[in-house]
Amino acid sequence: MDRIEARLEHWQGMIDEELGLSAVPLRKLARETADLSDILVGKHAAPCYMEREDFIRAYGAFYFSQSVARTAFVLEELLRLTDLPAPSQELRILDAGAGTGASLLAACDLLSSMGVPYRAEAVEQCGRAAGVLTSLVERAGLQDRVTVRNADVVRWRGGPYELVILSTTLSELICGGGGRMSLLDVRGAARSFYSLVGSPGALVVIEPSWRKGYTLLRDVARCLEQPPVLPCLGAAACGIEQKRDDWCHASLDLRLPEITRKVNQVLGHNLHYVKFTYGVFGRGLRPAAGGVRVISPVKRSKGKSLVRVCDGGRVSWAERLDRARTEANGDLDSCGYGDTVEFESRPLQGGVVRIEADHFFRRVGATDKKRGNPT
């Protein structure tokens, strides 16, 4: 998280300068953000909203850093918990519906920090947004590695790519941002994007943390006829998809850039965490680490702590009494959304397992393939 926070300030500073955000009154930015939010959740339709200066400013001030953070998190998981990329492989990347480039820049930043060679294409149909992204690419000195295309994302044909990123692209095609496709059409678009993925490779779908986002990911899994490799760690079935009051999501505890926090304060939103849902759909891609996925924060009640876990599609609560806390099972206290863990337990009734004093509970991860160090 520390690395992601540090880079958020870097990229936010660049888009602040590009869009002149510091010269815009804060309350004006907040009003523009509220109007943009209505579009993104489908209350109003505004196809190609990023042609408008007020909306592109709002996105830059409030949503840009959040998009950087969530994409960085998902791609770190992809590189840590699967066998992508192969040693010395140059990754070919497509960011489809790139907007002003938050997800693309997060990908470039992460891969550069890990010493992974890559070539990237960003496709964005709004000319103004594509222009901002082109300028950011030049400011960052990435023009030799990144090509920006101003084109219709749905009709784009290229590749094959080892990595295709759809960061809120599918939901915007349905909601007000695109406003031109039915859910059935979007399923066809998902199949089309997946056809651009080489082997080994991955289609990365990131959506807001709401029921519509999770439902969309579930529909993508069904139309591709495969469960996501992540966050499910290769589980053959989902243990919570039938529940009406729950769905998987990630929740990042990050200090967002100052301008984002100030806009949030004016709006009165509850932006204490960056929350989102995601699915990584692989072609010739396998998990490189086992483990159980944490899908809730730690919950504390009188005399015990609990955390919800998903083990290959089987969902349960892992419970530890306070008197049974030991150094070996202490990671239960600090684990959070998205962590991979392993533990010993004994089953109780009602979908609960008990962590006893002589049991362990610890985080696990794969060995970093590029550096040879444990993550």
Helices (H), the chain: 2-19, 26-40, 53-58, 64-81, 102-114, 127-139, 169-174, 183-194, 211-224, 258-267
Structure tokens at 74: 């998902």
pLDDT value at residue 218: 85
Q: What percent of the chain has pLDDT over 90?
A: 59
Q: Which residues contact 173 (CB under 8 A, 6 or more apart)?
A: 154, 180, 181, 185, 186, 189
CB 234 within 8 A of CB 291: no
Q: Which residues contact 131 (CB under 8 A, 6 or more apart)?
A: none
**Position 344, amino acid:** E
pTM of this structure:
0.88
Give the residue, 321 or 246, on which the prediction is more confident. 321
Q: What percent of the chain has pLDDT over 70?
A: 91
- Residue-wise pLDDT for 116-150, tens only, equals 999 999 999 999 999 999 999 999 999 999 999 99
Q: Where are the domains of the chain?
A: 2-283, 292-363
Structure tokens at 178: 């695109």
- Residue-wise pLDDT for 225-241, tens only, equals 988 888 888 777 776 66
| 2-283: CATH, from 3.40.50.150, 3.40.50.300, 3.30.413.10, 3.40.50.720 | 3.40.50.150
pLDDT value at residue 233: 81
| Superfamily for the 292-363 domain | Nucleic acid-binding proteins (2.40.50.140)
Residue 261 has pLDDT above 60, yes or no: yes
CB 98 within 8 A of CB 121: no
Average pLDDT for 188-205? 94
CB 292 within 8 A of CB 342: yes
pLDDT value at residue 249: 78
pLDDT value at residue 38: 87
User: How many angstroms separate the CA atoms of 68 and 101, rounded?
Assistant: 9
